[in-house]
Structure 1
Amino acid sequence: MLLVTVGVFLLRSGWLKTNESGAVQVNPGILFLRAFAPTAAAAMVFLLVFGLLGGWILAGRMLAPLDRITHATRTAAAGSLSHRIRLPGRKDEFRELADAFDMMLAQLEAHVAEQQRFAANASHELRTPLAISKTLIDVARADPNHDTGELVDRLHTINTRAIDLTEALLLLSRANLRSFTREHVDLSLVAEEAAETLHPLAEKHGVTLETSGGIAPTSGSPALLLQLTTNLVHNAVVHNVPQQGTVRVHTGVRPKTVVLTVENTGEQLTPQLVATLTEPFQRGTERIHTNQAGVGLGLAIVKTITEAHDGTLTLTPRPAGGLRITVELPAASGG
């Protein structure tokens, strides 16, 4: 009875089958399956292990650039801006991202270094008048018979210089922040106003001040653009030949921009020196603190105001001596 039951089960499950004569025989498909199953299982296991291992290696190679970028980001966040990714390999999306990040770090490092240098120079410049004032007061206290009138005059001069420097720093900060309302401005009118204001100073230095050009409409802050023009004309008058010098102020219009050019006679300047004149506290002549020497921020303010108005500033030494400064700003819409 048991043998009959097992036989019926094997027939129904397909392990056994009957031929045309009714004889019972083993199903060859089942024999093939039994022979192939271990090999197929082993192949499947191998493919699974190989796929997982290959996927892990491939994912590691694909994510390695992201790991380097993440590491560089954390390093920069910790304060080290000199680190660079410098991702090797072909020019793909990861390489472009890494190169853009390196460029950003380089610009940020240069900006931070410039700010640190500016802060150090500003601290030095502000400390100088305070130190001089303290010395004068100490001398006056030690010598009661000292001429107080002379002391007051010198303290007034030093205090005025400190105030001018502080106002220049505030103006520079304001221009950097671009916290101003844009209005329609005609550079030709601004140039005429600046020239009229500085005409007595030009006469005092024996400098001929000339203005020319036509209407030059742009958009920006009238006060800042007047400060820009005044700084340029003032520098051109002060840094000139002792007598019979010339300052020429010209405004013009180009297809998409307006141009303000201030040109003066003076000492011959090298391109290397001219390249440093727009840095804060740099002067074309010796750092002598006189009433006309300024605070060393004139051209730095000009550069900042120009950039705040999306313009370009160009300084070119003249072959015969002196300097040509060109400010190019976007033309006003419809101007």
Structure 2
Amino acid sequence: MDRGPGPSVRLKLTVSYAGFIMLAGGLLLATVWAFLLRYVPDVADGPMMGPDRTDLQAAFIPKAAMAMAFLLVFGLAGGWILAGGMLAPLRRITHATRLAADGSLAHRIHLEGREDEFRELADAFDTMLARLEAKVAEQQRFAANASHELRTPLAITQTLLDVARNHPNPDAGELVERLHFVNTRAIGLTEALLLLSRADQRSFTPEHVDMSLLAEEATETLLPLAEGRDVVIETSGEVAPTLGSPALLLQLTTNLVHNAIVHNRADGGAVYVNTAVGRGLVTLTVENTGEKVTPHLVATLTEPFQRGSERTRSDHAGVGLGLAIVKSITTAHGGTLTLTPRPAGGLSVTVTLSAFRPDRAS
């Protein structure tokens, strides 16, 4: 929105200060004048000893005018200095805002002094800049990783097509099988990216969801995968009602159970799925056996495309978005995600959401 130039806030404050001082000075002089007139009789009242009102006016009015002129100059100069000192923090905040608008998010105000309105504003702005910088860095890292992940299947497809073109009689069956595998992986990655974007946007209407039923559905769906890997799934718990997107929460549960199956022991392991309710919260916990996981690795597992090479089995080629999607869905539902390495090996993942109380719904 285009606006014409106007007087600065410093000038407005200066004029306000000067005007207030002039008003106070004028009221003071008027009071003095009224006080003097009370004790100085008029000439019409009769002869008197001493000065009359005419003499008093001749002496008082010039001095009053000089005093008002001094107050005007003093008010303007003092107001300009005071306004400049008061607005100095605002200029620093404005400078930081312009730098942020130009793309420099690393700058911080770091306003000194005691706590006041400007200090609160500067600290809030610094916090906002820190979050924006972290978010932009995360998005840039995500875009770079996504580009790398998408480039890999495309490059493989290009290589296979080049080989087929350079060899007139290739094994069509083997070529089609390889292309199908690469294309399936690319489709899976694209769908995961779309799901991650949908979770981040929080574009869903909350509905009543029972996490225990979602846990059973995810377990039944992935049971053939678990049997093929000689992994036993144990499901327990109680009814766990919450509010959210059934599709997204089912995807969250499925991702957790799927990860627990594929990142498990090669000689037969176990997956434990449990739901619980307490203190107004619903928890879904998925644990699995496996190799010991270091705390450093656990801290990176929710980052996009972090597959956790120490846990990944050679026969599983994931896209590295499983736990990243779980984290986004959990955040979109206002919940918390906790990853803890199990002392005996494997990982324990807990999703905590707000419980739904039908008697309090209104």
Contact 2:229/2:266, CA 8 A, preserved across alignment:
yes
Q: Cα distance, 1:18 vs. partner? A: 7.1
2:76 is equivalent to residue 48 of structure 1 = no
Q: Displacement, 1:126?
A: 0.5
Other-structure match for 2:279: 255
Q: Which residue of 1 aligns with 2:192?
A: 168
Deviation at 1:32, TM superposition (A): 5.8
CA distance in structure 1 between the aligned counterparts of 2:325 and 2:112, rounded to whole angstroms: 41
Distance 1:18 1:143 in 2: 133
In the alignment, what sits opposite 2:126? 102
Shift of 1:43: 3.5
In structure 2, distance between residues paired with 1:196 and 1:287: 24
- 1:4 maps to none
Check whether the contact 2:262–2:312 (CA below 8 A) recurs between aligned residues.
Answer: no
Structure 2 equivalent of residue 302 of structure 1: 326
Q: Provide the secondary structure at the position in 1 that maps to 2:340.
A: strand
Work out whether residues 263 and 324 of structure 1, in 8 Å CA contact, stay in contact via their aligned partners in 2. yes
Deviation, 1:16, is: 11
Cα distance in 1, alignment partners of residues 310 and 175 from structure 2: 26
2:148 paired residue number = 124
Length-normalised TM-score, structure 1: 0.88
2:336 paired with 1:312 = yes
Deviations 1:79-131 (A, max 9, x none): 22112221112100111011001101110111111011101110110010000
Show the counterpart of 2:105.
81
Offset of 1:262 from its aligned partner?
Answer: 0.2
Give me the whole-angstrom Cα distance separating, in 1, the residues matched to 2:133 and 2:66.
58
Q: Which residue number corresponds to residue 330 of structure 1?
A: 354
Where structure 2 has 5 or more consecutive residues not aligned to the other structure, the ranges are: 1-41
What does residue 321 of structure 1 align with? 345
Q: Using the alignment, how far apart are the partners of 2:161 and 2:98 within structure 1? A: 52
After TM superposition, give the deviation of residue 163 of structure 1 in Å: 0.2
The answer to whether the 8 Å contact 2:263/2:312 transfers is no
User: How far is the alpha carbon of 1:205 from its aligned partner?
Assistant: 1.2
What's the secondary structure of 2:285's corresponding residue?
Answer: strand
Q: Of 173, 176, 189, which residue of structure 1 is paired with 2:213? A: 189
Q: What code does the residue aligned with 2:205 have?
A: T
Measured on the aligned residues, the alpha-carbon RMSD in Å equals 2.3
- Match for residue 153 of structure 1? 177
Q: Secondary structure at the match of 2:358?
A: coil
Partner of 1:202: 226
Structure 2 CA distance for partners of 1:289 and 1:134, relative to 1, 3 Å: farther
Matched residues, number? 318
Where does the alignment leave 5 or more consecutive residues of structure 1 unmatched?
1-13
Greater shift in the superposed pair: 137-146 or 234-243: 137-146
Larger of the two Rg values belongs to structure? 1
Distance 2:197 2:166 in 1: 40
